[in-house]
Each structure stands twice: as C-alpha cells, then as structure tokens.
Amino acid sequence: MRQAKAKELTAALQELRTHTLGAFRAYERANLLHIPYQAELNPPLWELGHIAWFQEYWIGRNKHRSEGTDWQIGRPQNTSLLITSDQWFDSAKVQHVTRWDQALLTRETCLTYAEQTMEQTLALLQVDAESGSTLYFYWLVLQHEAMHLEASAYMAQALAIPFNPVWVSDHANSTTGEIANASTLAKAGASQPRSRQTTTRLPAQSWTLGSAAEQFCFDNELIARPVALKTFEIDLEPVCWAQYMSFIAATVHRLPRYVRQTGSSFEIQTFGVWAPMNMQDTAVHLSWDDAQAYCAWAQRRLPTEAEWDCAARTTPNFNWGEVWEWTQDTFEPFDGFLVHPYAEYSAPWFGTRKVLRGAAAVTHSVLRHVQYRNFFTPERRDIYSGFRTCST
C-alpha cells in the first residue's frame, strides 16, 4: 500500500470503512457506544467521529493537500461538514478525559458524518488522481483508520465483548461484521508449528535502518541511517506460551493479562470467552517489563530495533506478524528528522515510548510493513504485544 495508486487506495478505503462500521456495530450490539472511563481506551462513539474528522481534516478541508509532506501548518482550511467537529473530535485539542463528556454526540450524527466524509474523500481522490497530484494524504488517512480499527479489537478484548475481527484472515467466518465465535482471532493468529531451527546467527555488518523517502512512510522512519551491528543471534519465532509459562512457573512472575490458571493448566480469554491455552501459540498481551523479566531469566536479551530490522529483512524463515514485538530501544527520531504535516503523530512521544516492530494478528494488511515503527509505553499489556529474544 505504500506505493498504491488511486484505484488501490479507493478499494482499500472502502474496505477499511466496512470493517470500521462492523466494529462499531459490535459495540452497538453490546450497548457500549458509551463506555466507563478507562485511561487506555476511547468511547466507541467518539472513535467513529474522530476517524471521520481526521479524514475530512486532511482531505476535504485541506486546500493544499497536493503539496504532500511539503504542506505547511497555518494555512486556511475549508469549513467542516459538521460545524462542531473540531471541538468534538480533534484529538490534539480534546483532552482524553473529556471525550466521555460529549453529551451532544449521537449515533446518527457520527454515522452521517462518517458517510459524508467518505463520499467526499472518494470524489476528491478521483479529481486529484486525474490532475496528477500527490496522494500522500489519502495514504495517511488510510493508515490512521487501520490503526483505530486495531484499537477497536484490543478495546473489545479489554471489555470482554463478542467481537469478530473479520479482516484478520481469509478464513474468518464473515465479511459483513457479524459476530462469529470468540475463537476466530485465536485461530487466525495461531502460530505455525515451531521450526526445528529456532535461532539464526547474523554476521557483523553495517545495516541501513529506516525507510526510503520516495515511497509513502511516516516521519519517524526518516532519515535512513547506517547502524554498525556486531555479530548476534536472534530467535526465528516470537516467544510462545510454552516458553513463557515455564518462566512463570520458575519465577512466580505475574500471570499475563487475560490468562488464568485452572488446576494444573491455563486458559486464555478471547473477547469474553475462556478456552484452553494452546501452548504453541505466540505469547501475547505482554508488557516491555514482562519481556525484560523473561530475558533476564532466560539469560537472553531483547533485540535492538536495528537487529530486528536486519533479521526480518534478510532471513527467509524469520516469522513475524503475529504480535507486535518489543525491542530494546526507546522511541527516538533518526538523525535529520523532519516532522510531517501530522505533527502530533511522532514528535510528542519521543523519549517516552518503546519501539515495537512487526505486526499483530489483528493488524490490517494496509498497515503491515516490515519497516513500520510502532510505539507504546512499556507497561502496556492490553495491546497485542509479545517479543523474541536475542544474544550477542
């Protein structure tokens, strides 16, 4: 998708919106469009309005969208289709706790706004494609909606409501957003049988970390820079439950979120339903601190971001994409960093988050890219995070 043209972007935007509305209906059926305040979540009704606002802000209201990453802040914009959209849905200005106090927000208002802004976006995409304008902002809103779609899954997991992430795989039970059984995600994200070769050793080398500027990318992926790597060994697979639960048994470390012990075995909760843990599945919902504790016990360490990147891009049997994988590194800009138009995306979080690489089972295909840098605070366990180990 990072080199997508108008036709591919049109199809992807439409498909993604179908999934977004399917997720919205899951919360509606659970009578949870308004949810009790939680610091790590957003009200589903606000989420839908924000997705529509973000799309309109960068497309329909953006008179200078043809400038792409050269866009300058402070330019006059077109009027919103919803007069109160900025005061309700601008995440940079609407404090998190106040998103629960949007008394005037209604289901009908948010659905209508989402429909109108999508129609506007698709019409303008055709105009811009025919004029030869850059499509940067269409790619940006697509990626943004994919991020919020993934958030809808880990929110449903946190709230223990029936939820079917139909975008996960071809064998999902439905493409209409209807609820399937709660094991859909577990089946879709299950690990392949563990290979006999469990690690690989990579030689010392100079490795280029970062994306190529000529394709769509986020500002924190630039500017690509060389990194001197020493010889290192890295796991070919993320840590699985069998490995992680052995660590739990040996250290009495806390149980992961959504895991409980039943006699001598363990169960894992998926969207409100408890089922026996498949010990070969990749361990998930683990914090950076959990990963560090495991590594200390196993006498291993987390890979650096550059080591992970090198292994993922050069090793054919390096299995990634089941969980976001914690790395050693704190989220920082690369040398020569220049903020992109969506200034709130990266810069405010430098120095306060840890870098995760890869993708999770619930990550939509439009967002999956080997060079994508995800970032969360190290205590987060609600996200679909795991890890692999490394040694020098």
Q: Where are the beta strands (DSSP E) in 231-297?
A: 232-235, 259-262, 265-270, 273-276
The reply to whether 324 falls in a domain is yes
Residue 270 belongs to a domain with what CATH number? Answer: 3.90.1580.10
Instruction: For 172-227, write each residue's pLDDT tens digit.
Output: 333 333 333 344 454 444 445 555 679 999 999 999 999 877 778 999 999 999 99
The residue count of the chain comes to 392
Cβ-contact 172, 188 below 8 angstroms? yes
> Which residues, listed in sequence order, are joined to residue 276 by a DSSP beta bridge?
267
Angle at 363 between CA 355 and CA 352, to 5 degrees: 20
* pTM given for the model: 0.93
Separation between Cα atoms, residue 116 and residue 284, nearest integer Å: 38
- How many Cα atoms within 13 Å fall on the side-chain side of residue 254? 10
Instruction: For 137-156, write each residue's pLDDT tens digit.
Output: 999 999 999 999 999 999 99
| Structural domains counted in the chain | 2
Q: Are 220 and 245 members of one domain?
A: yes
> Which residues, listed in sequence order, are joined to residue 225 by a DSSP beta bridge?
209
Residues 6+ apart with CB under 8 A from 218: 143, 211, 340, 345, 346, 372, 373
Last residue within a domain, chosen from 127, 148, 180:
180
Q: Are 204 and 313 members of one domain?
A: yes
How do the pLDDT tens digits run along the chain, 392 residues long? 788 899 999 999 999 999 999 999 999 999 999 888 999 999 999 999 999 999 999 999 999 999 999 998 888 999 999 999 999 999 999 888 888 876 668 999 999 999 999 999 999 999 999 998 899 999 999 999 999 999 999 999 999 999 999 999 632 333 333 333 344 454 444 445 555 679 999 999 999 999 877 778 999 999 999 999 999 999 999 999 999 999 999 999 999 999 999 999 999 999 999 999 999 999 999 999 999 999 999 999 999 999 999 999 999 999 999 999 999 999 999 999 999 999 999 999 999 999 999 999 999 999 999 999 999 999 999 999 999 999 99
Q: Are 135 and 211 members of one domain?
A: no
Q: Are 343 and 308 members of one domain?
A: yes
The reply to whether 1 falls in a domain is no
Q: Are 131 and 237 members of one domain?
A: no
Q: Are 171 and 263 members of one domain?
A: no
Range of the domain at 171: 6-180
